[in-house]
Chains A and B, each alone.
Chain A
Amino acid sequence: MSDDKFKLLEERKTRYLAAMNLEKPDKVPIRLMLSEFSAKHAGYTFQEIYYELDKNIDCVNKLLNDFDLDTTGGAPSLWWASLHDAVGAKYLKFAGRELDVNTQFQYHEEEYMLAEDYDAFIENPTEWILNTYMPRIHKEFAEPGSYRANVALIKGGIGMLTQLGANQKAWGTWAPEYGGVPTFTAFSKAPFDTLADTLRGLSGIMMDLYQRPEKVKAAIEALIPHNIFYGMATSGGEMEFPLFIPLHRGAFPFLNPKQWKEFYWPSLKKVIEAFWANGKRTLFYAEGNWTPYLESIAELPEKSIVFHVDMTDMAQAKKILGGRFCISGNVPNTMLAFGKPDEVKEYVKRLIDEYAADGGFIIDAAAVILADAKEENIRALIEAAREYGVY
């Protein structure tokens, strides 16, 4: 590692950690979740980054070379399409196969867990996932024990390790050669989301809340230790950077406040508190609007989360959570896609003026940045953050 890259790495890391610890760093950290935007920037099709690990990783090389980012979320495509083809995973559709080469991947939601599955799931979720869920979502597993299913299982395991190894190797380059700092180093989910996203789906869970609420609660209770384990296992012992939880069905008004307090919040709170007790902070990536729930979120241990603002009222978030948790956000993605650089700069300036003065603030877009964002607007965001975000 060259001296200047080491210095850059240390500056960025110190800046990021200071903000998360509610301190005033030298500058407001810039943390952008640059996803499919980075494929466009690197000149790759979506098919290329979804299917080819080296190109997916190369997108980040180009980003780190071309933009002054304090952290990076890693390779833009989380899901390796080749691995999904190997097992015949049917819940994701990818560019270049079912979709045009530059179409964003799509999630095909169904009730992959039936209402009748609750008891078996609650009794032993791990075994139920392998025996019942995986044959449903993987076409290659349609006949468990068959030659096709056995080959797919081998390819699936090898594929997942291949992807993990490629990403790990890439960090061996991003940190020393580009001064790249990870946005997060672990992943988990809110237990309600685990149940409501890939298992029961939105329509299934909404009916369950009325038809079998006790089963929902029992399933969520069963998920809590698994979601804690998954988060800590993915951290691999790394404790400085946060654990990423993308929060989905907890946004208002998927659930009404009574349902949220009864079904969503208690288990999420337990998971986050367990991470914090183990020394791991959570990046509370609150997609959508969480304004009605800010008072409850304030119950979490001080500094245990970074509260990310998407459509939540930023002023309310600052008023209720400021001084207790670092806050991040929230340049609207619509502005990055359809606005002008001057509008972006003005928005960033206002965010910094109104919410960053005391420290404990990270500038970011409102949500993950897809290919519709204009490069000049990303550059405007970064320029404004550097111009106005000096303490």
Chain B
Amino acid sequence: MTKETLVKNTFQGLPPGVCVPWEQKEKELGEIKGDPAIIKKEWEQLEAFAYMYIWGWVHR
């Protein structure tokens, strides 16, 4: 292992199940014409899948 691969974090202190927080994504989306709760729910569901994939390589 070498130090060259060290990468600075983009986010600090993300809670479990989160990779890119909805609050960040919501800002980037701008105006939401429909129900934001639907978009948030779906975003967070796929977030959790990505999170589980990432952690699946550690929990052995």
Chain A residues close to B by CB (< 8 Å): 79, 89, 91, 107, 110-112, 114, 116-117, 120, 123-124, 126-138, 156-157, 160, 187-189, 194, 197-199, 225-230, 233-234
Contacts and interface: CB of A to CB of B under 8 A. Distances in A.
Interface in B1-56: 1, 3, 5-19, 48, 50-56
A36 B9 CA distance: 40
A230 B52 contact: yes
18 contacts: A91-B60, A114-B6, A126-B18, A126-B51, A126-B54, A126-B55, A127-B10, A127-B19, A130-B54, A132-B5, A132-B7, A134-B57, A136-B5, A187-B59, A194-B58, A198-B58, A226-B55, A227-B59
Contacts of B1: 110-112, 114, 136
Interface of A is mostly: helix
A127 B14 contact: yes
A150 to B, nearest CB: 15
Contact of A160 (B7, B11, B56, B59): B56
A135 B15 contact: no
Contacts of B9: 120, 123-124, 127-128, 131
Give the residue among A112, A126, A160, A187 with the most B Cβ atoms within 10 A.
A126
Interface of B: 1, 3, 5-19, 48, 50-60
A126 B7 contact: no
Given A114-B3, A132-B6, A126 B59 contact: no
A194 B59 contact: yes
Contacts, number: 89
A84 to B, nearest CB: 10
Interface of B is mostly: loop
A238 to B, nearest CB: 16
A188 B59 contact: yes
A160 B16 contact: no
Contacts of B59: 187-189, 194, 198, 227, 230
Contacts of B18: 126
B21 to A, nearest CB: 11
Given A120-B9, A123-B13, A194-B59, 15 more contacts: A112-B1, A124-B11, A126-B14, A127-B14, A129-B57, A130-B54, A132-B6, A160-B53, A189-B59, A198-B57, A198-B60, A225-B15, A227-B59, A230-B59, A233-B52
A199 B58 contact: yes
A129 B6 contact: no
A226 B11 contact: no
A344 B9 CA distance: 55
A134 B54 contact: yes
A198 B57 CA distance: 9
Given A126-B19, A225-B16, A137 B11 contact: no
Among all A-B residue pairs, the 9 with the closest Cβ atoms: A229-B16, A131-B7, A124-B9, A127-B9, A226-B16, A225-B16, A130-B54, A198-B60, A189-B59
